[in-house]
Structure 1
């Protein structure tokens, strides 16, 4: 529970600052695209082309500057957005899953539980 409180504080601070962490300028267009289109299917080739890199070089550059591959970053970004929706809306789990780019509510719930060690419903009921 303490971890989730800290996550909430950090998420609010990030929203207040209005900008993400400084990154290599080459990755900026791809990161901007992820932030604007995270609810849509995101293709590695398209993200790489936004940065004017081949897919393999894009993955290496992404891991170098952000510490994780693009797929993991997108998943974490979607999960952060889902936490915000779980805390601030009464939307159903299915609706939140759809709004955050997951193919199904069950896929969303599995990913959420794997990362947060609790279900989305349990997270929603935490008092912050």
Structure 2
């Protein structure tokens, strides 16, 4: 199992975060990566060429990028690609930390904790510089979170491979029409057995998990893009805008309009990743 990223806090020179929506056919680079960076992909798709090697990333995943490599980003040709990022400048980078970085997977499913850290950094960066101690601490926490998430996923896979397979499939196909039978077939289990597994390990049912996941993704789109409510409902697997409106109010206690009105990120988008 992968180790823990470890380097002195004083080695963290700065941390930064941003959010951007690329139009269909967008691209970025080539550039030489300067920082350790997490790129969180929400919509569209992203093909990253790293030193000539292609890495295909689907929505719902976070990518770990390492300094010193030439990177080119090519985004979806048919739809907008929205992603956010956290970059952390560590200098000098201890040899043990470099070894750990290259042991970690290149991308992982997005987690609620990753999103919360990104939200917090984006909010704070409106008022403090990127070399502020609190911002640097949050950037360091994001780097520590990646191996923690790796361990959690590996443990889930080792103990409950069927559950892991279903969760991964939901994260990648949540916009499609999905039934309990579909999920059970993916797991190779009966519907009843899959429901028992979810109740034991996720404290919910497979379909409730699916609808919660759809609502969470929809909230992210509401607060970070200018897509219409109808388009968001369609992209996140809701049958109608009214269905989406009822469910978001039921699960979140707020309407879609209230989420959109509370967002102040749309006019402060920054490029991915930054040139430093």
Give the structure 1 partner of residue 235 of structure 2. Answer: 99
Deviations along 1:89-121, one digit per CA (max 9) or x if unpaired, are 100000000000000000000000111111111
Q: Tell me whether 1:113 sits opposite 2:216 in the alignment.
A: no
Give the structure 2 partner of residue 87 of structure 1. Answer: 223
Superposition pairs for residues 55-70 of structure 1, below 5 Å? 55-70=191-206
Residue number among 26, 34, 44 corresponding to 2:162 in the alignment: 26
Give the structure 2 partner of residue 45 of structure 1. Answer: 181
The answer to whether the 8 A contact 2:195-2:205 is kept is: yes
TM-fit CA distance, 1:10: 3.7
Q: Tell me whether 1:122 sits opposite 2:258 in the alignment.
A: yes
1:102/1:14 CA distance change after superposition, 3 Å: farther
Aligned counterparts of 2:263 and 2:195: Cα–Cα separation in 1: 38
Aligned counterparts of 1:112 and 1:92: Cα–Cα separation in 2: 15
Which structure has the highest helix share of the two? 1
Which structure has the highest strand share of the two? 2
The answer to whether the 8 A contact 2:199-2:205 is kept is: yes
Stretches of structure 2 that go unaligned for 5 or more consecutive residues are: 1-111, 119-141, 265-276
Q: Please tell me whether Structure 1 or Structure 2 has the larger radius of gyration of its CA atoms.
A: 2
Aligned counterparts of 1:42 and 1:14: Cα–Cα separation in 2: 30
Residue number among 210, 225, 245 corresponding to 1:74 in the alignment: 210
Aligned counterparts of 1:29 and 1:85: Cα–Cα separation in 2: 25
The secondary structure found in structure 2 opposite 1:27 is helix
1:11/1:118 CA distance change after superposition, 3 Å: farther
The answer to whether the 8 A contact 2:166-2:187 is kept is: yes
Stretches of structure 1 that go unaligned for 5 or more consecutive residues are: 1-8
Aligned counterparts of 2:261 and 2:222: Cα–Cα separation in 1: 9
TM-score (norm 2): 0.40
Aligned counterparts of 2:164 and 2:180: Cα–Cα separation in 1: 15
